[in-house]
Amino acid sequence: MFLFIVFAAIAVVAALGVILSRKPVYSALFLLLNFATLAAMYILLQAQFLAAVQIIVYAGAIVVLFLFVVMLIGGGELGPGDRETSRQGAALRSLVSLSNGLPKGDKETRKQGDAATSLASPHGSAAPRLRGSLALVLAVLLLAAVGYGLVTGHLFPVQGNAAAFGQGSVEAIGAALYTDYLLPFELTSVLLLVGMVGAVVLAKNEG
Amino acid sequence: MVPTSSYLILSAVLFCIGVVGVLIRRNVLIIFMSVEMMLNAVNLTFAALAKHFLQLNGQIFVLMAMVVAAAEVAVGLAIVMTVVRHKDTTNIEDVNLLKG
């Protein structure tokens, strides 16, 4: 339960970091942290193969793709045209103050909202450092929790009722995937082919 | 032993954070990331229920969802790149070609 709480806290804070960061680069890196935490969750759920696939596909392919696009369209610095409109800014502020759980009066809400905006602002000099150190603390916490789980054996598969479950091993998943789910498995290859062709066509089409 | 309900609550929280991200952000990249987070939350639900019922069907479905997410991200980011090439923006307020 202790490990679950640590992982859940890291996942939620990383998710909030994704949607509250001003620069898409930070969002992508928080997204990476979120995916890594979910991989640890899969191990807690005795789905080891899913954890490996989560790291390879999500953290290895999708986040890298996001980072490539962020780099290609200009380093991730939001221009003035990309600034949130005032309505969205107000919604964001009210949401942040709501999540702080203290919507007491308009003035206090606004004060908290301003604090939140200054936290989310790319111009404040302390804010990026604070967010970076937050991300560092979260990542170190994740590593420490995984190490703790490995040392104490909480992350190892339980032997009891998990035998019928196949422990989420590659063998059990492969047996199910190539017998009961053969047709969906083949159809996903068509889906991947269509996605690949679509991406190439969109990338090639100059006009 | 962690109860299944706590996994479901966590995945609901992550899903709601993703929804809020889609609603409040105007950068199309961050909207995509929020969609990915929502997909991941649903995957966590599948894995938790697979463990709960001791059946592998949920894990198979997570694999399918991952394939769909990979294809979606490839096509979606290609669309983003095309939009950036044509309009030089990632703000979805500026991309309203279908608005009639």
Which of A81 and A152 is assigned the larger pLDDT? A152
Tally C-beta pairs within 8 A across A and B: 190
Residues in A touching B10 (Cβ below 8 Å): 8, 11-12, 41
**Quick check: B60 and A28 CB within 8 A?**
no
Interface test with A, best of B7, B11, B77 (most A CBs within 10 A): B77
pLDDT at residue A113, as a whole number = 44
- Give the chain B residue whose CA is nearest to the CA of A34: B37
Residues in B touching A172 (Cβ below 8 Å): 56
Residues in B touching A91 (Cβ below 8 Å): 23-24
CATH topology of domain A2-78+122-162: Four Helix Bundle (Hemerythrin (Met), subunit A) (1.20.120)
**Quick check: A168 and B56 CB within 8 A?**
yes
pLDDT at residue B73, as a whole number = 92
* Residue from the list A15, A166, A195 with its beta carbon closest to the beta carbon of B71: A195
pLDDT-based confidence at residue A158 (cuts at 50, 70, 90): low
pLDDT for B40 beyond 50? yes
Percent of chain A with pLDDT over 90: 32
Would you kindly state where each structural domain of chain A is located, as residue ranges? 2-78+122-162, 169-207
pLDDT for A106 beyond 60? no
**Quick check: B26 and A82 CB within 8 A?**
yes
User: B91: which 2 tokens?
Assistant: 């703000």
Maximum separation of any 2 CA atoms in chain B, in Å: 55
pLDDT for A207 beyond 90? no
Bridge partners, B27 (sequence order): B91
Residue A205 CA neighbour count, 13 Å, CB half: 13
Picking from B92, B7, B80, B86, the residue whose alpha carbon sits closest to that of residue B43 is B7
Whether B30 maps to a domain, the answer reads yes
Whether B16 maps to a domain, the answer reads yes
- CB count within 10 Å of CB A174 equals 11
Looking at every residue in chain B, the average pLDDT score rounds to 90
Picking from A113, A13, A27, the residue whose alpha carbon sits closest to that of residue A70 is A27
CATH value at residue B25: 1.10.287.3510
Whether B97 maps to a domain, the answer reads no
Interface test with A, best of B5, B7, B29 (most A CBs within 10 A): B29
pLDDT for A16 beyond 50? yes
**Shortest Cα distance from A65 to chain B (angstroms)?**
8
Quick: pLDDT tens for B68-79. 999 999 999 998
For residues A89-113, give the mean pLDDT: 48
Residue type, A155: L
**Quick check: B47 and A42 CB within 8 A?**
yes
> Could you tell me the residue range of the domain that residue B11 belongs to?
4-88
Picking from A53, A84, A45, A112, the residue whose alpha carbon sits closest to that of residue B27 is A84
**Shortest Cα distance from B21 to chain A (angstroms)?**
5
Q: Which of A59-63, A70-74, A183-187 has the lowest mean pLDDT?
A: A70-74
pLDDT at residue A110, as a whole number = 43
Whether B99 maps to a domain, the answer reads no
What domain count does chain B have?
A: 1
Its ipTM equals 0.92
Whether B15 maps to a domain, the answer reads yes
pLDDT-based confidence at residue A96 (cuts at 50, 70, 90): low
Quick: pLDDT tens for A138-153. 888 888 888 887 777 7
Task: Report yes or no: B79 at the A interface, CB cutoff 8 Å.
Answer: yes
Residue type, A23: K
User: A29: which 2 tokens?
Assistant: 């890196």
pLDDT at residue A77, as a whole number = 52
